[in-house]
Amino acid sequence: MAPPSKRRPGYDRKAQYGLFVSYVIAIVGALVGVLLLVLSIADPTGFSALRSASAEVTRPISSNLRALVIGIGNLDETIAAYINAGSQNAALRRQVDANRTKLIEADAIRQENFRLKRLLRLTETDTGVITAGHLISSTATSAARVARLDIGRSRGVLPGMPVRGPEGLVGRVLRSGPNTADVLLLIDEGNVVPVRRTKDNIPGISTGRGDGTVEIRALNTERNPFKPGDVVVTSGIGGLYRPNIPVAIVARLAGDRAIAIPLANPSRIELVVVQTPFRPAETAREDAANAAAQASNASVP
Amino acid sequence: MPRYDNRIGRNRSELQIRGTPVVSVMLGSMSATLVPMIAQAPLIPPIGLMMLIAWRLLRPEIWPLWIGLPLGLFDDLMSGQPIGSAVLLWTVILLALDFESQRHFWRDYWHGWFTASLAIAFALAGGWLFVRLAGNGGSIIQILPQIAYSIGLFPLVVRICAVLDRWRLP
């Protein structure tokens, strides 16, 4: 079929000019797109007013739909639990017995730890928790892995704050609006987290891969020290993330790096907690010393 | 409701005739942010863009060439891409479709699907590149499934546009 054509205006001068102007506007529009793109790549937090305004508009709808989808998302687990109920019951009973002794031991170790830390004056009193909220939607069409939180500036959520769930680290806050905030997930390539292996404190770096997994590279060993099944937690080096938040479990090795699966699966987490950025004790002391030095410099003319 | 209502000469406001395509594209753009799902990889097809191309194939005269600017900006705000990404890509796609329709005058179903496939693949790859330049995202392999089922779902979007088109016109 041949389409009706208005792109061939014939001898009509007015139509010809109109066509020409529409091309000019389109090309100018493309150039505006390039300009906006350069601005937003140079400053990822830019246009935050525009973004948070649109987030505020869609927030009520997606947060109401959320309850529905969580129910559907867990349906497969519920059915699978019924099918294996008998054998699973026996296995779980054995596991509970084994875990009970381990729990008692862990309790004793926690007591001892607390006592030793108090001796070293290392006790941390605050957990840094600011507030809790739900993840309501995400950038499901885009290649960037960003999720939206249903709380924002009004509850004290600011860009750069770490976000964690009960199972482990989720990400950090990228932008925050009045009642919404965007969280850069752990699985995004832009999210780099200093980690350590729980067994022996081998330090490493976790980077997202964009497909639901993270890759972990050891910092200071020549060969790959990781093995499948290793659990890594945040090391607290460099600040931002508090130490000992579970991050991921190693699934397989790929050359000098390990591919790991995050422990907190953001699509199943009910509630997340926003924390203050962590500042190690030494940095805090150094900052205080610098401030004091500056104050004394200022007082000397 | 009568089974056979009058389908010719109905009363249609100008807003309904001109607004339906625009609103349908905007709703398509909003689908990503309204679906309450935390995606681990690009999952949802770019429905806003597919609506735009479907309307363009169905009614070549309804989109002015500059429509990529406002609709693309709206899509960027909703999808979480770097702002300007869809503005640029959608305008380039509309210009390319315009030149294409000048060169190839005769067209059919497969021709439309093929050009739409190229446009969708171009937009998704371009979007991936811009996210990459901003330092986020992951490898290009993860958008290949998204491209594949976006192309597969395109005829469905065309059907939806055709139904909307029958509803919108007097």
Class of the CATH domain delimited by A129-277? mainly beta
Q: Which residues contact B11 (CB under 8 A, 6 or more apart)?
A: B170
Complex ipTM, two decimals? 0.83
- Of B44, B66, B89, Cβ closest to residue A141: B44
Contacts of B135 in chain A (CB under 8 A): 44, 189-190
Please tell me the predicted confidence (pLDDT) of residue A301: 47
User: For B67, left (φ over 0), alpha (ψ -120 to 50), or beta?
Assistant: alpha
- Of the two residues A134 and A79, the one the predictor is more confident about is A134
3-class secondary-structure state, position A192: strand
pLDDT band at B163 (very low <50, low <70, confident <90, very high): very high
Whether residue B60 lies within 8 A of chain A, CB to CB, comes out as: yes
Q: Which of B25, B31, B38, B131 to mutate to test the interface with A (most CBs of A within 10 A)?
A: B38
Six-digit token pair at B17? 């005739």
Mean pLDDT of A233-238: 86
Q: Under an 8 A CB cutoff, do B65 and A148 touch?
A: no
Mean pLDDT of A260-277: 85
Q: Under an 8 A CB cutoff, do B40 and A143 touch?
A: no
Q: What separation in angstroms does the CA of A168 have from each of A110, A198, A213, A266, B39?
A: 20, 14, 14, 10, 17
Distance separating alpha carbons of residues B120 and A275, to the nearest angstrom: 40
Mean pLDDT of A190-211: 88
Q: Which of B27, B33, B97 to mutate to test the interface with A (most CBs of A within 10 A)?
A: B33
Please tell me the predicted confidence (pLDDT) of residue A70: 61
Within 10 A of A217 (CB to CB), how many other CB atoms are there?
16
| Long-range contacts, A152-155 (Cβ 8 Å, 24+) | A152/A52, A152/A176, A152/A177, A152/A178, A152/A179, A152/A180, A152/A181, A153/A177, A153/A178, A153/A179, A153/A181, A154/A178, A154/A179, A155/A130, A155/A131
Q: What is the pLDDT of residues B37-91, one digit of tens each?
A: 788 888 889 999 999 999 999 988 888 888 999 999 999 988 888 888 999 999 9
Q: Under an 8 A CB cutoff, do B98 and A7 touch?
A: yes
User: Contact A189/B137 with Cβ under 8 angstroms?
Assistant: yes
Q: Under an 8 A CB cutoff, do B38 and A40 touch?
A: no
Range of weakest confidence among A38-42, A86-90, B3-7? B3-7
pTM listed for this prediction: 0.80
